[in-house]
Structures are given as C-alpha cells and as structure tokens.
A and B are shown apart, each in its own frame.
Chain A
C-alpha cells in the first residue's frame, strides 16, 4: 500500500467540548428544519404535478 493510501495516524485525538458542541448542534438543527420546510413544499408541488406518483428516482 502506498503512503498516501495509508490510514492517517493521529496520536492526540481532539476532544469534543460539550458546551460548544451543543451550541453548534442547535444552530445546525435549525438550518435543517428550515431546509426540510422547503423540501416538504417542493414534494407537495411535485405531487400536484405528478398525480400518478410514478418516479424513476432521479
């Protein structure tokens, strides 16, 4: 196996700071909630335009 193909060896792992992690997670969750709202609206628009519901999955 070539050197570039080897798994990285990290001797000192960075620990997760709980307070910072929770605060960041809260903001990420909010972003996903907003994006999901857009997706639900899009699905509902597509259903109106595709009454058979048939899809090739692309």
Chain B
C-alpha cells in the first residue's frame, strides 16, 4: 500500500491540529510503516496530532485482556500528542449537528457527532482526518483536501475536514 497525497497536501495542513478518527488508527495498524512515515512527516510540518477519548473507546472496545487493552492504548498514544477534552459546548455542537443532519444522522455513531462537535468548536484551527467520508457531508463540513491509500487492487480516500 502507498499513501498518495496531493502536491499541496503538506502545505495545506502545515501547523494545524490534526484530529484523528478511529478509521485512521485502524489503517495505521494495518499499514504501520506507511502511516508512521506519514505521521512523522505531518509532525515535521509542525502538525499536532490529537484525538478524543471517545475515539479511543471505540478503538479499544471488545479487547479481551488488560495487556491487549494497554497495547491498543499505547498504539494510539504513540501517534498522538494529546487527547482533546470533550467539553459541554462540544455536546451542544453535536446537538446542533443533529438538526443539520436530519435523517442522514440516523446511522451516525455518537463518536462521529462528537468529532463533528469538536470540528465546529475549533473551526479552521483543526482538521479532521477520516475515512468515513459519507459521515461528514460537505453541506455541513468543508472538505479541504484528501489523500489516497493506493492498494494493489483498490484506491481508498481519506478526507480532511474543517468547519
């Protein structure tokens, strides 16, 4: 697998806080060398990689032993600099999003609403990376850029969103 970024990807994201969705951590353990290089390049460009505890919970749920739970947690924390606090105003933003999504929000996870709430709170200071592009429609969020996971027999898209 290769990570293919548009020419202006790193200049577009430089110096930003990058909020990582669960889907990114999943791809990162499936393709560790490619993602380690990608994350380090972002860090070189002064990006601050962050996530929220609900993403961690989504990532670790169902883990069968304490040791494996610690490993998953360490994996997430080896990538990010910190967890952003999920404050009350973020939940208020999530409720606003429910009004905007209407029926399209029916299948969204609670984590997606909270991530959306974080994006609304920090506006252009934070960029959300997610593979679940159908969960973040462009009538509500702005897709600023994207990158591709170029597989032997498939191409997948990862969107970079802001409010």
Chain A interface residues toward B at CB < 8 A: 4-5, 7-10, 13-18, 20-22, 24-29, 31-32, 34-35, 38-39, 57
Contacts and interface: CB of A to CB of B under 8 A. Distances in A.
Contacts of A26: 32
Contacts of B84: 7-8
Nearest to B77: A14
Interface string B15-33: 0010000000010111011
Nearest to A34: B64
Contacts, number: 83
B23 to A, nearest CB: 13
Interface stretch (B35-43, B131-139, B141-149): B35-43
Contacts of B50: 7-8
A25 B28 contact: yes
Contacts of B82: 8, 10
A21 B48 contact: no
Chain B contact residues (Cβ within 8 angstroms of A): what range?
A: 35 or more
Interface of B: 17, 26, 28-30, 32-33, 36-37, 39-40, 43, 46-50, 62-64, 68, 71-72, 74-75, 78-79, 81-82, 84-85, 87, 89, 106-107, 121-122, 125-126
